[in-house]
Amino acid sequence: MRAVTDEKAIVPKIQIQAVSKSYPGDKNPVLALRTVDLSINEGEFVSIVGPSGCGKSTLLYVLGGFLEADGKVLVDGKAIQGPGTDRGVVFQEYALFPWLTVRNNILYGLERGALAPEERARIADRLIGVIGLKGFEDRYPRELSGGMKQRVAIARTLACDPAILLLDEPFGALDAQTREVMQDELLRIWLETRKTVLMITHDVNEAVYLSNRICVMSARPGQIVEEFKIDLDRTIPRERLFTSDAFNKTRNEVWISVRQQALAAEKLNARV
């Protein structure tokens, strides 16, 4: 194993140790996650892919502190205590407050922080510019397209400057074109800020395009069955990267791994 501890990252940013999670079922509890282990270093972009219903979102909710689970979840070596502003979350359903305008959605988290009002306004203005929604500050979410809503959701999360970003299929509800634009934006933001990112997705291309590392999850009960290190040049444009042999080789490997899990899941379902 290659030593990843040569720099300052002695303690991984996130440690998930033997995490299991079951939901109450009709007769017996349904096991969603079984002894999942995962460590993520500071500045790493890790994606989790797997067949639908494999519990990958559950893992993210556990890490977010929204769901209780067996096992240990450590951030900076300390056990998490419920949700916290150190872990910013972006949901597939945007989860914007419909009764707040774009600006007030972005300000929501800041208003709970220690910053002065002028400083908060400055951050909100800058983020509104970053996401390209100048002129839409006073609109309500219902007046925005899906892509715009997700931009606001990302800006709202970035406003609190969390060390960790948890992304739950963030672009799953967007059309293909908007999704690509948003992926490029996310990549740019990540290259700029180097936050620690855990992204749940079912889009293998997206995972390979954005991540340092991809974890493939098995069908329920979810377990991480395979890991792929991605070592691609992030600075070359999307078209060249997507048509490169290196990208396609990796993409195919991951895709075949996910497909095996999906087929296994189907067989399992057919038997039940």
Strands of 30-40's sheet in order across:
30-40, 14-23, 70-75, 78-79
- Separation CA 190–CA 211 (nearest Å): 10
Looking at the Cβ atoms of 89 and 204, the one nearer to other proteins is 89
Check binding of 82 to other proteins (CB under 8 A): yes
Check binding of 113 to other proteins (CB under 8 A): yes
Report the residue from 12, 55, 88, 147 that binds other proteins according to the rule CB under 8 A: 88
Looking at the Cβ atoms of 157 and 223, the one nearer to other proteins is 157
Report the residue from 66, 129, 227, 229 that binds other proteins according to the rule CB under 8 A: 66
- Scan residues 139-158 and list those touching other proteins (CB under 8 A): 139-143, 156-157
Point out which span in 10-18, 40-48, 105-113, 180-188 binds other proteins (CB under 8 A).
Answer: 105-113
Q: How far is the CB of 230 from other proteins (least distance, A)?
A: 27
Check binding of 98 to other proteins (CB under 8 A): yes
Q: How far is the CB of 61 from other proteins (least distance, A)?
A: 8
Check binding of 163 to other proteins (CB under 8 A): no
Report the residue from 12, 40, 102, 136 that binds other proteins according to the rule CB under 8 A: 136
What's the 3-state SS for the chain? CCCCCCCCCCCCCEEEEEEEEEECCCCCCEEEEEEEEEEECCCCEEEEECCCCCCHHHHHHHHHCCCCCEEEEEECCEECCCCCCCEEEECCCCCCCCCCCHHHHHHHHHCCCCCCHHHHHHHHHHHHHHCCCCCCCCCCHHHCCHHHHHHHHHHHHHHCCCCEEEEECCCCCCCHHHHHHHHHHHHHHHHHHCCEEEEECCCHHHHHHHCCEEEEECCCCECEEEEEECCCCCCCCHHHHHHCHHHHHHHHHHHHHHHHHHHHHHHHHHHC
Q: Assess whether the previous peptide bond of 221 is cis (omega < 30° from 0).
A: yes
Write the binding mask 228 to 267 for other proteins: x where contact by CB under 8 A, - elsewhere. Answer: ----------------------------------------
- Scan residues 22-61 and list those touching other proteins (CB under 8 A): 61
Choose among 228, 247, 229, 250: nearest CA to 237.
247
> Hey, what are 272's tokens?
């039940």
Looking at the Cβ atoms of 109 and 219, the one nearer to other proteins is 109
Q: How far is the CB of 56 from other proteins (least distance, A)?
A: 16
> Hey, what are 261's tokens?
């899990």
Looking at the Cβ atoms of 95 and 130, the one nearer to other proteins is 95
Check binding of 100 to other proteins (CB under 8 A): yes
Point out which span in 73-81, 135-143, 184-192, 244-252 binds other proteins (CB under 8 A).
Answer: 135-143
Q: How many residues bind other proteins (CB under 8 A)?
A: 34
Interface ranges with other proteins (CB under 8 A)? 61, 64-66, 82-85, 87-89, 91, 93, 95-101, 108-109, 112-113, 135-136, 139-143, 156-157, 160
